[in-house]
């Protein structure tokens, strides 16, 4: 078992199967040592449910943070595939784009996106620190509260 997989085990995280595309696109594109991961939403909770709704209307910041952490778990599954099946090959999480399903007056998208960012730093340490944008959206597919895409650097 690799270092990152061991860390996930210690955190009590089991990676799901990477989410399949819901339209005409591929989950990851590699160019050189960079892998561009398509946006994905939250992994199911332990009870099988998936968070739904708008931040500032249906969900609190804390619930959004949880949804972002669950989204980070899905991103880790995609990263594993994008890194050739080995998360230890991830050299750096370069950038995240966090899109938050937001009520018109909700302006705390960065606090929500921290759920994913904090997870990536827990898992990868300094290699998990990244540039990030966190923006509000009027709607997201299937009423998910957050969708995040990522750029990662992998070993050659």
Distance CA 46, CA 119 (A): 17
Domains along the chain with CATH numbers: 3-14+27-154 (3.30.1330.40)
136: which strand partners?
Answer: 100
pLDDT, tens digit (0-9, with 9 covering 90-100), for 113-155 = 999 999 999 999 999 999 999 999 999 999 999 999 999 999 9
Q: Closest Cα to residue 68, out of 36, 91, 101?
A: 101
Q: For position 67, what pLDDT does the model report?
A: 98
Q: For position 21, what pLDDT does the model report?
A: 87
Provide the whole-model pTM: 0.96
In sequence order, what are the residues at sequence separation of 6 or more whose Cβ sits closer than 8 angstroms to the Cβ of residue 105?
56
Q: Closest Cα to residue 17, out of 51, 44, 50, 49?
A: 44
């Amino acid at each position: 078992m690799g270092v990152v997989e061991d860390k996930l085990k210690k955190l009590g995280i089991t990676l799901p199967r990477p989410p399949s595309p819901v339209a005409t696109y591929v989950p990851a594109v590699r160019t050189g040592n960079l892998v561009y991961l398509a946006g994905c939403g939250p992994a199911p909770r332990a009870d099988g449910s998936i968070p739904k709704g708008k931040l500032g209307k249906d969900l609190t910041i804390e619930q959004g943070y949880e949804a972002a952490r669950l989204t980070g778990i899905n991103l880790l599954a995609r990263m594993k595939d994008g890194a050739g099946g080995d998360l230890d090959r991830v050299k750096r999480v370069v950038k995240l784009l966090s899109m938050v399903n937001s009520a018109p007056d909700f302006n705390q998208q960065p606090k929500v996106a921290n759920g994913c960012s904090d997870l990536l730093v827990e898992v990868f340490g300094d290699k998990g620190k990244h540039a990030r944008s966190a923006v509000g959206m009027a709607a997201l597919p299937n009423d998910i509260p957050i969708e995040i895409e990522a750029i990662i650097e992998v070993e050659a």
